[in-house]
Structure 1
Amino acid sequence: MPVFASDMLSSVAYAPDEILLALSLSGIVALTVSPWIGLAVAVVILVIVLCYRLNLQAYPSGGGDYEVAGTNLGTRAGLVVAASLLVDFVLTLAVSLTVFASYIGAMFPDLKPYRVLIAVIGIGLVTLAGLRGSWATRGLLAVPTYLFVGAVLLTLAVGFIRVLSGDTPEAVTSDFLALPGSDEETLLTGFAAVFIVLRAFSSGSVALAGVQTVATAVPLFRPPRGRNAAGTLLVTGLLSAIMLVGITWLSAVIGIKFVARPEEQLVTGSGSPVGDFDQDPVLGQLAQAVFSGFPFMFYVVAAVAALVLLVAANTAVEGFPGLASRLARDGFLPRQLASRGDRMTFSNGILLLAAAAIVLVVATQARVPDLIELYLVGVFLAFVLGQAGMIRHWTVRIRTLVTSPLRRRMQLNRLVGWLGLLLTGLVLVVVLSTKFFAGAWIAVAAIAILYVAMGLVRRHYSRVDAELTPEADDDSARTLPSNTHAVVVVTAIHKPTLRALAYARASRPTFVNAITVAVDEDGAQRLQERWDAMGLPVRLTILDSPYRDLNGPVMDYITGIRKRTPRDLVIVYLPQYIVGRWWENLLHNQTSLRLKTQLLNVPNVVVASVPWRLSSFHRARDQRNRRVGPSGSKPTEH
């Protein structure tokens, strides 16, 4: 529970902020409205948890709504869910680390201007932890979740006791008044106050985002996996609902304000603006008010909130690569995403996730409300299609049974699925109607683009597989070439060149030749004289280059052989330096790489790279062996 459910639990660290923020657009202070919105979101949480307990037991393989929708509604519905979940995981990482930066700023106000940098550094730390892939790391990440739940429940308990005893705490913003965000927003609320309340409800629904994380992590649970994951989801849902309702109710009693632009919307009791005022998250303000006589506890609550957000970000690092790997195995994403790295993690997927999250954080300048506007569409779209798939799942099975206790239980499960479908569909409509033009359209566009891209990738792989499948009467791929031409590209007479010549001769070609480009006529003449003096048993051909181009004459020479003898095979041998440091690749092999890229486009031409390992490679290998031991080192010969 603390590892895989931390995403859902941590959402109570910012869901109340979004509720109050949406209400503040009209100047409505959440004294009476926000607790009811928190209660409504809590009801949605419990219903979704009830639905997903059935989902996890019916589909314990870890595919989540992607598997449910794809199996029962078809490939297209599964792709829509997959695109939604991929966007959701990226936003989970971006939102978690952005709120993390907010809590760091609450503890250390001088760091508030650097929230973008803090969020990016946080993404880097979580990415490194994910790339390591250690179960010990996962066990360590469980501690902040327990501390966060304990800290929030302690804050609520102390706050309730103080309120019931008549000693109601006062927050920094309790005496402030909240003004509408603008004249346009004031006009809007005059005609549609219900719209504002619905928008606040949709914003608070971000607390449900973590349900999918548990659904995709089922294979990592102990057997029976479906039952254990369902139990985890139940405990998490109950805790999330209790904490969300408690925070919204206590915040309303205390009179905490959270607005979009505090310097404009917050005024003192006398009506004067508060000026340059940096507001803290709602949970931070609540902790400051409740523990007013013991400020150390505020830092404890803010610290554990920041830590649990790091853990929640780690769940995205667990979920995104796993789903991307499954999609890659099904042919919908590049196959590189299906392979594990040397530490048995899907490193390519983790790096792709981190890059996308960093782009979002920088583009939004680490503003949580802007990211939340994008967050909910993918979450509830996956919910809706998943529940529709489960209804079909139970319907198909009910048809195969006569009256029996099992049939009645399936009918009850289908009824629960209908309840989940209607509720999530309603929330999705609310989200789209209240947030579409505020930024949700970007998420819709991203899901649509991803859906189309995955379809194109699948079509490409299918076309390539059909093209590469050998036919019984097709001998073109097995026909032997008439002759073999071995061509060694020479830039200087040194050890790599001599090895390339030896390899070319060892392959027993029909013809073997060495070529060099005369960029400098005097240099080419000296090269020819040294070649003859060494008595090398291969003829050297000097190619003219009036424009001092290296690759052009070589390409003309190779294509000339192809035109004269189109059925012959041409093997081009290129010496290549193998180095020990990444930056040395920038200093070597660049000409060879460009030439190799061009030659690979010529039919019946094979490029053979002849490796020559420099001393830096051997030093790097020895250092690696001393660090991890010879048994743990990677093979150096291929």
Structure 2
Amino acid sequence: MPKLASVLKRLVVGRPFRTDRLAHTLLPKRIALPVFASDAMSSVAYAPEEILLTLSVAGVSAYMYSPWIALVVVALMLAVVASYRQNVHAYPSGGGDYEVATVNHGPRWGLVVASALLVDYVLTVSVSISSAAANIGSVVPFVATHKVEFAVGAIVVLTAINLRGVRESGTVFAIPTYAFVLGIVAMVIWGATRVYLLGDDIRAESANFELLEEGDHLTGFALVFLVLRAFSSGSAALTGVEAISNGVPAFRKPKSKNAATTLLLMGVLAIIMFLGLIMLATVTQTKIAEDPAHQLVNAPAGYEQKTLVAQLANAVFSGFDPAVWYVIFFTGLILVLAANTAFNGFPVLGSILAQDRYLPRQLHTRGDRLAFSNGIVGLAAFAIVLVVAFDAEVTRLIQLYIVGVFVSFVLSQSGMIRHWNRLLRTEEDEAERTKMRRRQAINGFGLFMTSAVLVIVLITKFMHGAWIAIAAMAAIYLLMTAIRRHYDRVAEELREAEATSDVSTLPSRNHVIVLVSKLHLPTRRALAYARATRPDVLEAVTVNVDETDTRTLVAQWEQEDFSVPLKVIESPYREITKPVLEYVKRVRTANPRDVVTVYIPEYVVGRWWEQILHNQSALRLKGRLLFQPGVMVTSVPWQLASADRRKERLRARQEVSPLAMRRGLSEKKDRQ
């Protein structure tokens, strides 16, 4: 079983990397863009659609607001990208928003940002994969009817790819990301050419459908609320922008400059694609209904609503199916791979939080391929739970999505304003002060925009599911503070113990107990080993769970004439663990300054199923003895034949391994 597990691990993860190869995993800009910006760029595949979906409840006439909403989203994106370019220069260590908030607002606000980002990363995976299932399902009916299974499978595949390392996963993702950008940009350019230069009348398959207006949404406060809700949904296009600031350490030198350039390139591409899709949706009169069965009045029976990208591709490239398939395929693929942004951001943030003792220390450990493997697996597990719980429905998941993003945006921008204020108090060079004030103004505008959006999101989405994300953030915040209190309490306890006791002082005596079940070779070895340690007191102890067996053991013991006394402990309820524990406690109580050492004979087996048949009592006993103060537990192994055979097989493999052959050749050359 261990061999099979090792083989499977090598197939999935690959050969382990040496620690000194960490520098070779750093990313150039052309690879960093698909690794860290795929989420932000791919979100343009569903953000425009979410705007139209929200407006659809007011009928076709509400679509007139979509271009204006899109322009405000673009202004917001420009402000956020410009602001984060300041962040990556000021805080290049990889802490991102968490570090900015912690340094400038204090640890508590830093934890608020961290909890928001952790929730956001999980939702990034869930929303991206679910959107991919919807897009691919537009042309593959099987995926449409098995979205949850498709999403879970995609998350598992992504997890396996990321476990192989950041650089290797980035190389895998680069081609699909650039192919997606090329497809969307080509579709926008060709669509604009047909409409504005060639004068073609391009119409989507849903252009002739009528949208049923639900209620009075085009008057007064209802209209304002609807437009604000559509704007908050369209703001999903900004998700993933912060990932680059968290991933600065993964860039090649100069890290900050390369990260800032990647941010700018990501922003330009995302804006072009976002505005282009909104333009095409307007000119092709595409209809996207929140509830197609009821809202699309004159749609044919059994009509399956396609995604916005699928409808636009069919309209723009009508008559040329390869282009349609190309756009839909790479849109679905990039939405799957967009989750890779979270697979790079979540483990790094988890590692930083673990280093600060807010998360378990295992998250700070790098795996075989120098990636934070535990964080990657944890992210995948949480995302799968969400996908299953919400049936991989983008519209349901996206209501949870935006809150965490903008909480981190707001606290990050306000933290940067404090950062510049602190530097301005000590800076005397007027030219440098002017630069700082300009950067502060950029962050100030970003704070104004993101704060406004956060308020809008909370108002419009709270009852639609945003409260779940807020509750999750609160739970994670409380969990992280509890973990930190535990680590602080352990550290304080060790400091107090070190101050009040001298660990170098030897105990008065060593009282050794050898546990005996039968008088066989493992028991004899344990006795011999215990004697070799020259303890002050040595005794053998057996528990009477079967009267016949106990009498036989005592008779054999007396016949062998051991110099070690055998003590029989009665167990009227046929237990083993409890009587031994009580006896050890009595020994400790009688001589508090003594240390008690318990020797437990154990079998070493070579097959996994043999472990089930042996050592279960020993495992339970060891687990309980660990909690007894002043008690040491020593396992005395006895290798069975299956263990010896496994050892021989391992030795044979080592002898014929390439490493062993190279070592042998090297030694031969040295002798020559």
TM superposition score normalised by structure 2: 0.87
Structure 1 counterpart of 2:272, from 242, 245, 254:
242
SS of the residue corresponding to residue 62 of structure 1 reads: coil
Question: Aligned pair in 2 of structure 1 residues 474, 415: CA closer, same or farther (>3 Å)?
Answer: same
Q: In the alignment, what sits opposite 1:74?
A: 106
Q: Distance in 1 between matches of 2:609 and 2:342?
A: 32
Deviation at 1:414, TM superposition (A): 0.9
The residue that corresponds to 1:481 in the other structure is 507
Match of 1:128 in 2: 160
User: For the structure 1 residues 510 and 450, does the alpha-carbon distance in structure 2 shift closer, same or farther, using more than 3 Å as the test?
Assistant: same
CA contact (8 A) 2:357 2:483 kept: yes
Per-residue CA deviation, residues 571-616 of structure 1 (Å, 9 max, x unaligned), is 1223445556666655544332222222122221122233445536
Match of 1:172 among 205, 216, 231: 205
Matched, 1:344 2:344: no
CA contact (8 A) 1:340 1:347 kept: yes
Checking the alignment, whether the CA contact within 8 Å between 2:217 and 2:223 is kept in structure 1 is no
Query: Normalising by structure 1, what TM-score?
Result: 0.92
Equivalent residue runs for 1:244-323 within 5 Å: 244-268=274-298, 274-323=300-349
Partner of 2:416: 390
1:225 aligns with 2:266: no
Residues 126 and 383 of structure 2 are in contact (CA less than 8 Å); yes or no, is this contact kept in structure 1?
yes
- Residue 366 (1) aligns with residue 395 (2): no
Letter in 2 for 1:197: V
Moved more, 215-224 or 515-524: 515-524
Matching residue within 221, 226, 230 for 1:200: 230
- Between the aligned partners of 1:533 and 1:146, the Cα distance in structure 2 is 83
The alpha-carbon distance between structure 1 residues 62 and 620, as it changes in their structure 2 partners (threshold 3 A), is farther
What's the offset of the Cα at 1:538? Answer: 3.8
The separation in 1 between residues aligned to 2:300 and 2:144, in whole angstroms, is 18
Contact 1:26–1:189 (CA under 8 A) maintained in structure 2: no
Aligned to 1:548: 574
1:24 equivalent among 52, 56, 70: 56
Deviations along 1:378-435, one digit per CA (max 9) or x if unpaired, are: 1011010100011111111122234611111111111111100000000101110100
Instruction: Measure the CA separation in 1 of the matches of 2:591 and 2:137.
Output: 72
Residues 514 and 600 of structure 2 are in contact (CA less than 8 Å); yes or no, is this contact kept in structure 1?
yes
Deviating more after overlay: 340-349 vs 119-128: 340-349
Alpha-carbon distance in structure 1 between the residues aligned to 2:545 and 2:396: 58
After superposition, the C-alpha distances for 1:460-497 in whole angstroms (9 at most, x for unaligned) are 22222111015776235443222212222334455544
Greater mean deviation of Cα atoms: 527-536 or 106-115: 527-536
In the TM superposition, 1:609-620 aligns within 5 A as 609-612=635-638, 615=642, 618=647
Within the candidate set 159, 163, 173, 1:141 is matched to 173
1:177 is aligned with what amino acid? E
Sort the Cα spacing of 1:498 and 1:33 in 2 relative to 1 into closer, same or farther, 3 A: farther
Please give the alpha-carbon distance, in whole angstroms, between the structure 2 residues aligned to 1:189 and 1:365.
34
Which amino acid letter does the alignment assign opposite residue 193 of structure 1? L
Q: Structure 1, residues 355-387: CA drift from partner, whole Å, max 9, x if none?
A: 111111111111111211111111011010100
Which amino acid is 2:251 matched to? F
The answer to whether structure 1 residue 332 and structure 2 residue 364 are counterparts is: no
> Is the 1:83–1:451 contact (alpha carbons within 8 Å) kept by the matching residues of 2?
yes
Shift of 1:37: 1.7
Q: Unaligned regions of 5+ residues in structure 1, if any?
A: 633-638
C-alpha distance in 2 between matches for 1:627 and 1:350: 35
Alignment of 1:574-589 (within 5 A): 574-578=600-604, 585-589=611-615
Aligned to 1:103: 135
Inter-partner Cα distance in structure 1 for 2:588 and 2:345: 51
Match of 2:90 in 1: 58
Quick one: which amino acid aligns to residue 166 of structure 1? G
- What amino acid is the match of 1:208? L
Deviations 1:250-283 (A, max 9, x none): 0122122222322222221xxxx64444322211
- CA deviations on 1:284-340 (whole Å, 9 max, x unpaired) are 221122222122222221221222223221221111111111111111112121122
**By how many angstroms is 1:202 displaced?**
0.6
Report the secondary structure of 1:570's partner residue: strand
Mapping of 1:470-509 within 5 angstroms? 474-475=500-501, 477-509=503-535
Residue by residue over 1:117-155, the C-alpha shift from the partner in whole angstroms, topping out at 9 and shown as x without a partner, is: 111111111111222226233212211111110011111
CA contact (8 A) 1:266 1:274 kept: no
> CA 1:553/1:99 → structure 2, altered by over 3 Å: closer, same or farther?
same
Of residues 9, 12, 34 in structure 2, which corresponds to 1:2?
34
Q: 1:388 to 1:583 in 2, by over 3 A?
A: farther
* Letter of the 1:314 counterpart: N
Q: In 2, are the aligned partners of 1:65 and 1:385 still within 8 Å (CA)?
A: yes
Alignment of 1:595 with 2:592, yes or no, is no
1:25 is paired with a residue of what secondary structure? helix
1:89 aligns with 2:121: yes
1:31–1:255 contact (8 Å) kept in structure 2 = no
Determine helix, strand or coil for the equivalent of 1:344: coil
SS, match of residue 2 in structure 1: helix
AA in 1 matched with 2:267: G
CA RMSD of aligned residues (A): 2.5
Secondary structure of 2:592's partner?
coil
The unaligned stretches of length 5 or more in structure 2 are 1-32, 662-672
- AA in 2 matched with 1:195: F
| 2: CA distance, partners of 1:623 / 1:280 | 59
Distance 1:208 1:166 in 2: 34
2:76 aligned residue:
44
1:561 aligns with 587
Which residue number corresponds to residue 12 of structure 1? 44
Q: Is 1:517 the counterpart of 2:517 in the alignment?
A: no
Alignment correspondent of 2:430: 404
Total equivalences in the alignment: 625
CA deviation vs aligned residue, 1:216-236 (integer Å, no higher than 9, x gap) = 110111111111100000010
Q: Is the 8 A contact 1:34 1:249 kept in 2?
A: no
Structure 1 residue 555: deviation in Å?
1.5
